Chain A
Amino acid sequence: MIAIVQEIATSVGYLERPAVGLQLLVVALPLLVGSGIRRWQGIATPMGRWRRPIGLGVALLGLLALKLAGIPHGFGVFLLLLVMGWEALNPLDRLLARCMPPEPRAQLMSSLIRPLYLLAAAGALLDQLQNVRDLALLPLTLLGNTLTVGQLFLAVLLVYLVLVGSGPPAAGLAWLARRTLGLTQSSQRAMALIFRYTVVGLGLLLVFSNLGLNATAVVAVAGGLSVGLGFGIKEIFSNFVSGLWLLFEGSVRPGEVLMVDGDPCEVRSLGLRAAVLWRDRDNAELVIPNQTFFTESTVTYTRSDRLRRSELMVGAAYRHNPEQVIPLLEAAAREVEGVLPEPPPRAFLVGYGDSAINYSLRFWIANPMRNVSVRDGVGRAIWTTFASHGIEIPFPQRVLHHPATESGSGGA
């Protein structure tokens, strides 16, 4: 490894050549100055958005001047092309924005496209200064195996591509599976994760077998790891295995709604270590280790279907006939948006309270996350209906028995 670094480091020897220095100056100076034009004395300059094109244009003119003067300028042209290629990624980003949602697009750009461009640029630059094919043949020893720098580089690149780039193909396969097999959306997401893990696993196996890694050495490393697993990283491993099990079992999948500390939360993602859940009431995201779901009981509203039965308690004054109140309650609930017609809302007399007869109005909603808003709607509908039919919701009441009044003698 030191030999490789030394080989590459000798490239600084080119800097003592005046032509190379001139080219660097001609390309770097306008771009650096242009980058600084954004603000002048703390105020954004009108030509701020043109700073980069101006810088590139000046650099181009500088290279033209070198050409006319008969000075070597190809390296400057190469550097300028690299910079222009980088700038061209911005329009590509805008193009992708037309057909991709923001989050996957941002991840694609930041995890795949830009890093790949930087890698290709670094490789091209190295090839200008050295002979990349020769560097790729330099030998390395890894876990008792002799391989070349080129092989190791390709292996690392493949692993990275598999880890980062396996998402979209896995999502596509899962979408296809959903269309052909009629899966639910949460099953599709689970399947996408499973596909992804499978692709990553197969990719890693392929890379290791191509590298020809010594199986004995790998087993030795794994043996050492197992001790670590027993002590330091057992939680991590436990979470990883829990996550896999949950995926296969299907009990906790993206899209599911679980009750966490009394709040309905939607599972957004199931990762290698933890699941991310979204809590509606305060827009919080909860990161819960996978093994929590594995070892504790979980309340879910979406295991078999997404229906949730909600309930509202209301009291009506004793003087109102329950046969009149109950139909009014059911009718009020039926009118509210979000309340399902089937199963129909049902109201029940559930008790004789101190101040009123207690009724329970039970109704079904389609989205468990909307419970609060639908209950609010039902509550208001009840008030309106009661008000229009003269049904009283009494305040807490006390009946005072005055001894003098009860015995018939006069008195207040």
Chain B
Amino acid sequence: MLSALLALAAILLTGCGRPPVAEQEPAGVLFVYVALPGWQIQQPDNLDAVIEDLDLLRQPFRELHPAVRIQFIPFAEDQLIQQVRRRNWEGLGPDLLLVTDRMARDLRRLDLSRPATAPAELVSQLDPLALRQLRAPDGQLAGLPVFLQTEQACFNRSLLPESPANLKALLQTSAAGLPVGLSLVPQDLAWLLGGFGADGAIAAAARGEVPSRQGRAALVQMLQWLADANLQERVLLFTAKEPMLKRFASGELAWIPCRSDNLTLLRRSLGDDLGVAALPRGPGGEASPINTLRVWAFGRNSSARQQRTAERWASFSISPVVQRRLTLQTTGNLPVNLQLPVPVESSATLRTLEATRQQAGLGPQAEALFRIDNERLAHLRRVINDVTYETVAPEAGADQLLEALIAGAREAQR
């Protein structure tokens, strides 16, 4: 028993006798939670690809500060808030979290994270649009932007020399014998809205407003197109993203919509056959892809040393040189530091991603879709499935979608 007491005392006293704060070299263990879609967590290959990208931030920092250990702990996005709440209660919360901008705001709102801090000159170099998403009314930042992920088309060059430029050409491609994939997950289908001019209607409904007649008609047209596409033999509709990516990676599909965070994994399977292009436009306008901002949120349980190390590393990750290196080596993550422009001349993929970033901005439908709670999202998914498989007519489906969005928005406003 005496030896156990002595051991306990030794553990507790390890924090004493430290040199002055300003002179402390970053050291110790940082626990970094990485929020990912549920399906990515369950696939070791996908997880590997994500960690491989993040290692581009970790390794150079460790080379400069060998006493630092950074451990990534992945969690499903829908479990993260609950996990952070529990672990904060235990004192075992993360030092940093890599989350979307929306999740960072939620964490801050629930007081599960602390305001983000970084040197002012670095913050001034960041994308003002991104910062606007994260700034709270009191001026503090809910998180620190790290990189941007875009949405575009991925195609297999060995099957398809060029990506279709519009939706008509896309259906013609499938009619010519090349299978294409579409995901029915609402967030993955949102790019279609702009092509039919229906993005405004969705955005209005998500604000609790009744959309215009033209907006409704545009939505009906989009749903009709989906139902018609489903009738084509080689248009494959997936209710989840992961099987679509798997089949594309194995060469069974010629074209899919994809996100830039999938590129590392797809490149492993397809190599130089992987092509990236803008999403096809529709009869009503350009596609409306949604950008995702990945953000560092700061945990509440860190020791003083862990806080300092976390802030140093987060600042390191948004420095121009590190951002440029990340962009060039992953060609899937765009920088948020605008000090150095994206080297679009060096890569067609980067050129496409940058063009997509400009095209998407952070449009109204993006904000609208990400404001929807999970239950309502599940309802939207069911309606889309019903329309696609013609158990519900597009007009009725459009009404159901809009009603669900309006009701959800009004409930949230109460």
Binding site for B on A (CB under 8 A): 7, 10, 12-21, 23-25, 28-29, 32-33, 35-36, 71-75, 77-78, 128-131, 133-134, 137-139, 148
Contacts and interface: CB of A to CB of B under 8 A. Distances in A.
B90 A134 contact: no
Contacts of A7: 71
Interface string B59-83: 0000000000101011100000001
B89 A74 contact: yes
A16 B305 contact: yes
Nearest to A146: B44
Nearest to A129: B92
Given A20-B91, A74-B89, A78-B90, 5 more contacts: A13-B28, A24-B12, A73-B91, A131-B83, A134-B41
B242 to A, nearest CB: 14
Given A32-B1, A128-B90, A25 B8 contact: yes
Chain B's interface size range is 35 or more
Interface string B1-42: 110110010011011000000000000111100000000011
B8 A36 contact: no
B22 to A, nearest CB: 19
B302 A17 contact: yes
A33 B91 CA distance: 25
A14 B303 CA distance: 9
Contacts, number: 101
B118 interface: no
B85 to A, nearest CB: 10
A143 B39 CA distance: 29
A71 B91 CA distance: 8
B152 interface: no
A32 B4 contact: yes
B235 to A, nearest CB: 33
Max chain B Cβ within 10 angstroms of own Cβ: one of A12, A14, A77: A14
B88 interface: yes
Contact of B74 (A25, A32, A131): A131
B246 interface: no
B301 A17 contact: yes
B267 interface: no
Contacts of A14: 29, 31, 91-92
B47 interface: yes
Given A13-B31, A134-B73, A128 B92 contact: yes
A15 B301 contact: no
B376 interface: no
Interface of B: 1-2, 4-5, 8, 11-12, 14-15, 28-31, 41-42, 44, 47, 69, 71, 73-75, 83, 86-93, 301-303, 305-306
Contact of A74 (B28, B44, B83, B86): B86
A133 B90 CA distance: 19
Given A16-B14, A17-B303, A131-B74, A148 B44 contact: yes
A221 B29 CA distance: 42
Contacts of B90: 72-75, 77-78, 128
16 contacts: A7-B71, A10-B71, A13-B30, A15-B11, A15-B14, A16-B306, A17-B301, A17-B302, A17-B306, A18-B303, A19-B91, A21-B12, A25-B12, A73-B91, A129-B92, A138-B44
Contacts of B91: 14, 17, 19-20, 23, 71-75
Nearest to B69: A10
Contacts of B93: 72
Contacts of B74: 131, 134
Contacts of A19: 91, 301
B32 to A, nearest CB: 11
B343 to A, nearest CB: 34
Contacts of B30: 13
Contacts of B92: 14, 20, 74-75, 128-129
Nearest to B5: A32
Contacts of B15: 16, 18, 21
Contacts of A36: 1-2
A77 B28 CA distance: 26
Contacts of B5: 29, 32-33
A101 to B, nearest CB: 35
Contact of B301 (A72, A130, A138): A72
Contacts of B1: 32-33, 35-36
Contacts of B8: 24-25, 28-29, 32
Contacts of A75: 90-92
Nearest to B75: A131
A12 B71 CA distance: 12
A409 to B, nearest CB: 101
A24 B11 CA distance: 10
A367 to B, nearest CB: 52
Contacts of B73: 130-131, 134
A15 B47 CA distance: 28
B11 A21 contact: yes
Contacts of B88: 72
A21 B92 CA distance: 11
Contacts of B302: 17
Nearest to B11: A15
Nearest to B43: A137
| A-B interface, 4 closest residue pairs, ranked by CB to CB distance from nearest | A13-B29, A72-B91, A74-B90, A19-B91
B44 A137 contact: yes
A245 B74 CA distance: 53
A137 to B, nearest CB: 5
B91 to A, nearest CB: 3
A7 B4 CA distance: 25
Contact of A10 (B2, B14, B29, B87): B29
A49 B30 CA distance: 43
A296 to B, nearest CB: 54
A26 to B, nearest CB: 11
